[in-house]
Structure formats: C-alpha cells, structure tokens
Amino acid sequence: MLSAAWPFEQYQLKLQYLYDQSGLGKITSNVADKKSVTDASSYLVSLGLDYAPSKATTIGIIASYLNGDVTDKNGYQDYDDSQFTVYLKQIF
C-alpha cells in the first residue's frame, strides 16, 4: 500500500495505491471459491480532494478504481469496479 497527501491552501490532494496477490480479501470471496484459489492479483487506485472552508468543515470527493483477476476450480475470472464518493464532514 502506498498513500500520499499534498496540502495546498485550503485543499488536500490524496492518492492511494494498493496491490494484493493473497486472494484472501472479501472481493475474492464474492467472485471465487476461496478454498480453491490458485492465483489471484488485484490493484486499487484512489484519488481524492478535500476542501476545508473552515476548521470544523471538510467537503471532499473520492474516485476509486479496482481491477483484479482470480483463478479457482471454476477457471480464470477478471473483475473490475469503480466508485465515486462525495462527502461532508462537520465537527461540532
């Protein structure tokens, strides 16, 4: 896993990269029989931007992309997914 954040003025740019070859994750169990997995690999890339108009308020967006493949008793399967999130954090 590699994570980085770059602050500038009221913004913070965030980047995260994850690579996995274990085949033990929740997504693998959703697409394959974990007991018979012989090969698996996946990566996830996320890019986010936070905007803090005040000390108590943060508005942010995150875009993520997941890609992977797994081989089990049923054969080879490729999978991918993307997600976009918008959020508001208010500290009282």
Which pLDDT value is given to residue 32? Answer: 84
CA 53, CA 64: separation in Å to the nearest integer?
24
Q: What is the mean pLDDT of residues 64-85?
A: 93
Q: What is the pLDDT of residue 16?
A: 98
pLDDT tens digits for 4-63? Answer: 999 999 999 999 999 998 877 777 878 888 888 889 999 999 999 999 999 999 999 999
DSSP string, 5-43: EEEETTEEEEEEEEEE-S--SHHHHHHS-GGG--EEEEE
